[in-house]
Amino acid sequence: MLDSSSPSTTSFEVEDADNEFDGIINFRDVGKTVNDFLGKKVLKEGILFRSAKLDDASYRDRLRLTEVYGIKSVIDLRSKTEHLNAQEKHKFLQKSLPLKIPGISYTRIILPSRRFELFLLWQLSWFNIFKFLLLYPLSRPHAISLISHHALAPLGLPSLSLNTLFYSSPSISLCLSSLFPPSPSPSSISPPPPPTIIHCTQGKDRTGLLLILILLTLSIPVPAITHDYHLTNSSCPLIRQIRLSEVREVGLPDSFADTHQEMVTSVISWLEETHGGVDGYLDQIGFDEAKRQRLRAVLLWEGEQQPPQHQHQQRDVKKSETSIDISPPSSPSDSESSSVVVVAIDMSKSETSI
């Protein structure tokens, strides 16, 4: 969602029997989650992980990530403003551990894109656009609440996610390509992928959307994709209270603290209706069949790397009952947008972005 004017000073250690970390929440091995749900080996385990932000990781957490899980790479989807807030919070709390974990390679890919931010701004009336521009330099929290109330909340999580797919395709393509190491030459065998964590702030919307897209690309059964997506809601009450406080802080309804019941079916229906399925969308954003085959080789269990059957799988999915319009609105030209003050969206707090 949107960034608040100052970083939250909340630092927590989660005492939850189901959570193995002191300061990392919503962490899981996606391969193991899917395999356990399906009762068979479909995805490689120990390769692709997801979580919320890693900023509050304790020393014990860091050792567990690097020594137990062997994490070598992190794909961070947060905005520049989110990173600045994290640095301010880190300095305020006078933490001795660095924000970045030594021995791990970090890739920052901002999701959603500036085009999406402009799309959100253009959901406001002219009166509210001028009001936002006046408020932003004086009272950023009030400006962000204006966007939350008049743009984010009316659109809802599914529509925000679909518009992220529409407006942020270069970032999404880059995220997918970052999951496999480049080959030295076209004829050479790709080196094994490093164990990678994908995260945003809450690990719910942006991370959730990207994982839905990845699992669809791998032809994972829809019930397993839905299961992984909704596991975020199974956290302890304390963690949900943290999410609630974050969405309320920026003026969003409580529903934004949880995953959305129709998210997976909405994404599948939109891909089917607009691109003929996930492969058509990926072709359009530049993640072609050759790259998809490399992704399958990296993540699918041996023997599961057959050509996908996306269309048949997706047609069996019940259409979402929610009508979601993602037609491009009339929006400012590039020259106009350069003069517009655009809010930096924290798609992880309100995770309205995914």
The 10s digit of each residue's pLDDT in 137-148 is: 888 778 888 999
CB under 8 Å to 182, separation ≥6 — which residues?
190
> Got the DSSP string for 149-195?
IIIIHHHHHHHHHHHHHHH-HHHHHHHHHTTSPPPSSTTSPPPPPPP
Q: Which of 340, 316, 299 is nearest to 130 (CA)?
A: 340
Percent of the chain with pLDDT over 70: 76
pLDDT exceeds cutoff 90 at 249: no
Per the domain annotation, does 135 fall within a domain?
yes
Per the domain annotation, does 322 fall within a domain?
yes
- Spatial distance between the Cα atoms of 283 and 313, rounded to a whole number of angstroms: 18
Per the domain annotation, does 126 fall within a domain?
yes
- Check residue 305 and give its pLDDT: 63
- Check residue 32 and give its pLDDT: 97
pLDDT exceeds cutoff 80 at 9: no
Q: Which of 203, 213, 242, 167 is nearest to 75 (CA)?
A: 203
Higher pLDDT, 19 or 144: 144
Per the domain annotation, does 268 fall within a domain?
yes
- Produce one character per residue of 291-313: b if its CB has 16 or more CB atoms within 10 Å, e if not: bbebbbebbbeeebeeebebeeb
Question: Sheet containing 28-29: which strands, arranged edge to edge?
Answer: 28-29, 48-51, 196-199, 73-76, 105-108
Residue labelled with tokens 């390509």: 177
- Check residue 348 and give its pLDDT: 33
Per the domain annotation, does 11 fall within a domain?
no
- Produce one character per residue of 51-75: b if its CB has 16 or more CB atoms within 10 Å, e if not: bbbbbbbeeebbebbbeeeebebbb
Q: Which two tokens stand for residue 205?
A: 């919307």
The pTM of this model reads: 0.81
The 10s digit of each residue's pLDDT in 138-177 is: 887 788 889 999 999 999 999 999 999 999 999 999 999 9
Higher pLDDT, 17 or 46: 46
pLDDT exceeds cutoff 50 at 64: yes
Per the domain annotation, does 73 fall within a domain?
yes
SS3 content of the chain, % helix, strand, coil (to 5): 50, 5, 45
pLDDT exceeds cutoff 70 at 352: no
3-state secondary structure at position 35:
helix
8 Å CB contact between 100 and 83: no
Q: Stretch 186-205: mean pLDDT, rounded?
A: 83
Dihedral sign (CA 55, 225, 268, 157): negative
Mean pLDDT (the chain, rounded): 81
CB under 8 Å to 280, separation ≥6 — which residues?
271
Least confident window among 128-132, 183-187, 336-340: 336-340
- Check residue 153 and give its pLDDT: 92
Per the domain annotation, does 12 fall within a domain?
no
The 10s digit of each residue's pLDDT in 74-130 is: 999 998 878 777 777 777 776 778 888 999 999 999 988 888 988 988 999 999 999
Q: What's the number of domains the chain is made of?
A: 1
Least confident window among 49-53, 142-146, 342-346: 342-346
Q: What angle do CA 105, 54, 110 make, to 5 degrees?
A: 65
Q: Which amino acid is at 347?
A: M
- Check residue 243 and give its pLDDT: 84
Q: Residue 285: give the domain boundaries.
A: 28-337
Q: How confident is the model at residue 239 (pLDDT cuts 50, 70, 90)?
A: confident
Per the domain annotation, does 6 fall within a domain?
no
CATH of the domain at 78: 3.90.190.10
